[in-house]
């Protein structure tokens, strides 16, 4: 008996001790409202790439997969649940080789082609303008259409805008009506090219600016409601910076500053991916805590990039009339082994969800300048919300973060201060905790807290100015491992679970697990 007792004691000494919670104090000043967190910050991006469109959105009217006019019903329902505000289409690099007339009219009469950008896949053009607009309407999202500046013409772009927005009494409007949609489509956002510094034509900034002016001048939205003087004018987004390169930012903003009555732009795009180095080599599955920490640290660079380009924009636009639209962002990893490398298919882990939450927090802190973003991409490509395989569909951890953050759409940011602490893994050091808060359109106060530390829980003591908290309840997303994913076989490995806070004397204490994201409603 004594020997058994000694052995049991030794086993307890050798067993790993549970990690102790790290204390973090967060102060929320609920009495000082800040900038509005524009709902378009939570936008999506769908490019003709891999199975993002075909199989992901479009299955055709004759498919045994339940569909509405060829569009997957399960995907539409999932996207409606996260209140997608805007979808960017048709690309990406694909946009600057897309010719819109190939994708209208009877399906059996449409021109087929090859997608030279992404894996040499066949492009049947089954999903074209009318199908995209139908999809956006089903989802409840605004349309962000990118016109072909790289290989197209101003006339082609102008004709496309006429097809989408002209009155049905016109020739262009009659053609649209003949294809099944009498009323003009609403085109809220228009992208004037894509990555013109790269796959969109490798143009010098000066060359792009000259071309941009022509497209801005002659691509008119002909719907009186969306025209330049209408109540809901279309917003034209110019090509802007790639990561930290400021040459396009300077050139486009200088041109905007000097624009005259003949042309204008209403936004500047920015593309910045979390890769950890180029070409992307980090795996989407089977990585350890070091791989987790390095990529999370890389994601935090988004804050500095926005600040850098915002400072240049402020020189020309101190009133912040021109928004910075980060219309491509997300985790770009190595293609999943066994997949076509040109299809950019990767799994989506808890790590990616945490990175998404950090991006939302960064965008919210720059809400005075950042008023639209589009994660790359929506389905089956890069950091996707949804993965599909024939009739099967699974929601990724990133999807769940988007759903958790829905209360922040069009909410008013309130100041948050905290001593974030430090998380260190190997030679990687970063803040341990990140947080934002906002008052929703319904008047409720919401707090989002992310614990970046992969090994230690965090005890969050939340104090309030201008509010006596009476309750705290919400959801938390975490999993046993940093590389946990949702698969078709195990779709609920990483899903939100309820979390509540302890309330005492108007303050709230949250016990936050390691590597987790929580969104909590504070009752007052």
Q: Which residues are catalytic?
A: 195, 328
- As a whole number of angstroms, the distance between CA 130 and CA 143 comes to 12
Whether residue 236 contacts residue 264, with contact meaning beta carbons closer than 8 Å, is answered with yes
Sign of the dihedral through C-alpha 12, 13, 17, 22 = positive
Strand 187-192 versus strand 142-147 pairing type: parallel
| Token duo for residue 299 | 């994601």
Q: What share of the chain is helix, strand, coil (3-state, %, to 5)?
A: 30, 30, 45
Quick one: which of 467, 505, 523 has its CA closest to 31? 467
Q: What token pair was written down for 156?
A: 């082609």
Enumerate the β-bridge partners of residue 460.
Answer: 24, 510
Q: Which residue, 141, 234, 140, is CA-closest to 187? A: 234
CA atoms within 13 A on the CB side of 423: 28
CA 37, CA 411: separation in Å to the nearest integer?
5
User: 164 near 130, Cβ under 8 Å?
Assistant: no
Question: What are the phi and psi torsion angles at 174 (to 5°)?
Answer: -65, -40
In angstroms, the CA 484 to CA 162 distance is 47
Strand-pair category, 36-37 with 411-414? antiparallel
Rounded Cα distance between 126 and 128, Å, is 6
Angstrom distance (rounded) from CA 86 to CA 90: 13
Which residues, other chains included, contact 178 with Cβ-Cβ below 8 Å and sequence gap of 6+? none
Distance of alpha carbon 72 from alpha carbon 478, whole angstroms: 29
The helix-helix angle for 129-139 and 73-81 (nearest 10°) equals 50
* Cβ 394 vs Cβ 349: under 8 Å: no
């Amino acid at each position: 008996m004594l020997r058994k007792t000694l052995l049991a004691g030794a086993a307890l000494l050798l067993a790993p001790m549970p990690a102790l919670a790290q204390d973090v104090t967060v102060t929320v000043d609920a009495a000082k409202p800040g900038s509005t967190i524009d709902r378009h910050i939570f936008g999506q991006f769908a490019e003709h790439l891999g199975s993002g469109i075909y199989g992901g959105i479009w299955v055709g009217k004759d498919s045994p997969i339940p569909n509405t006019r060829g569009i997957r019903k399960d995907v539409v329902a999932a996207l409606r649940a996260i209140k997608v505000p805007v979808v960017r289409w048709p690309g990406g690099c694909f946009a600057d080789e897309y010719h819109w007339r190939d994708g209208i009219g009877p399906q059996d009469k449409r021109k087929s082609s090859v997608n030279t950008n992404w894996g040499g896949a066949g492009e049947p053009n089954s999903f074209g303008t009318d199908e995209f607009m139908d999809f956006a309407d089903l989802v409840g999202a605004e349309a962000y259409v990118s016109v072909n500046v790289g290989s197209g013409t101003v006339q082609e772009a102008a004709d496309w805008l006429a097809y989408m927005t002209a009155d049905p009494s016109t020739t262009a409007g009659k053609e649209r009506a003949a294809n099944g949609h009498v009323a003009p489509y609403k085109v809220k956002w228009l992208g004037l090219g894509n990555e013109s510094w790269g796959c969109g034509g490798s143009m010098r900034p000066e060359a792009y600016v000259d071309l941009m002016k022509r497209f801005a001048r002659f691509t008119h939205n002909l719907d009186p409601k969306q025209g330049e003087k209408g109540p809901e004018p279309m917003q034209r987004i110019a090509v802007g910076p790639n990561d930290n390169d400021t040459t396009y930012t300077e050139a486009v903003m200088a041109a905007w500053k000097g624009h005259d009555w003949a042309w204008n732009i209403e936004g500047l795009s920015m593309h910045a991916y979390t890769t950890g180095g180029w070409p992307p080599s980090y795996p989407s599955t089977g990585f350890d805590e070091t791989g987790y920490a390095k990529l999370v640290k890389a994601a935090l660079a988004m804050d500095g990039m926005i600040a850098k380009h915002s400072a240049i924009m402020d020189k020309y636009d101190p009133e912040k009339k021109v928004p910075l639209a980060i219309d491509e962002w997300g985790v770009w990893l190595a293609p999943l082994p066994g997949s076509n490398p040109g299809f950019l298919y990767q799994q989506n882990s808890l790590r990616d969800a945490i990175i998404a939450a950090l991006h939302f927090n960064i965008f919210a802190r720059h809400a005075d300048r950042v008023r639209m973003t589009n994660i790359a991409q929506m389905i089956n490509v890069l950091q996707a919300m949804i993965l599909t395989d024939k009739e099967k569909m699974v929601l990724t951890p990133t999807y769940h973060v988007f759903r958790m953050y829905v209360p922040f759409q069009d909410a008013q940011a309130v100041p948050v201060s905290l001593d974030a602490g430090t998380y260190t893994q190997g030679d990687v050091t970063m803040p341990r905790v990140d947080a934002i808060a906002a008052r929703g359109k319904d008047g409720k106060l919401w707090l989002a807290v992310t614990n970046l530390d992969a090994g230690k829980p965090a005890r969050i003591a939340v104090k309030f100015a201008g509010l006596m908290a009476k309750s705290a309840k919400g959801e938390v997303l975490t999993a046993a491992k940093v590389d946990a994913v949702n698969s078709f076989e195990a779709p609920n490995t990483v899903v939100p679970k309820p979390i509540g806070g302890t309330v005492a004397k108007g303050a709230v204490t949250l016990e936050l697990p390691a590597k987790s994201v929580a969104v909590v409603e504070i009752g007052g």
